[in-house]
Amino acid sequence: MLSQKFESIKRQYPRLAPLLDRLVAYIQAQTEDGQEYIIPKLAAVALHLNDGEAFVLLDLLSEAGVLRRVYNVYCRKENALLATVDSPDELDEIPPHCDFCDRDHDLSDLKVEIAFTPTTDALRDLAA
Ligand SMILES: [Zn+2]
């Protein structure tokens, strides 16, 4: 059974409730698959939404406390995840060294992507 947070967001946006149910089913499947991060454009493909719609729905779930919005930093060359931070301010604090390339990267060598990750509460509910 999913958290009251999720039920309340569905009550708040009744027209979005069916989509939110599908999105949560997708998040649950990803989580069971061992995927830590929900990427808006992948969720969009899976649910036949456009990127913007998927982002808005994921953002609603993050406002509801079901998901947490994070910023994933990738090495552009290796497409490898280097760091995950909670706010854009922290992007400045990421060490420039890339273990995959074994050298320091400029910001232009990096790619930042917004992702969402289930909160601890949500993970407990999703596993229930
Ligand atoms: Zn690199």
Map out the domains of the chain as residue ranges. 4-127
Query: Ligand 1 center to residue 88 CA distance, Å?
Result: 20
Alpha-carbon distance values, 99 to 59, 71, 75, 115 (Å): 32, 19, 10, 22
Q: Which amino acid is at 53?
A: E
Amino acid 3: pLDDT? 73
- What integer is the mean pLDDT of 54-79? 94
CA of 93 to the centre of ligand 1 (A): 17
Determine the distance separating the centroid of ligand 1 and the alpha carbon of 83, expressed in angstroms: 12
How far apart are the CA of 80 and the centre of ligand 1, in A? 7
pTM to 2 decimal places: 0.85
Cα of 2 to ligand 1 centre, how many Å? 39
Q: What is the mean pLDDT of the chain?
A: 91
pLDDT in tens, 46-59: 999 999 999 999 99
32: number of Cβ within 10 Å: 10
Q: How far apart are CA 4 and CA 113, in angstroms?
A: 29
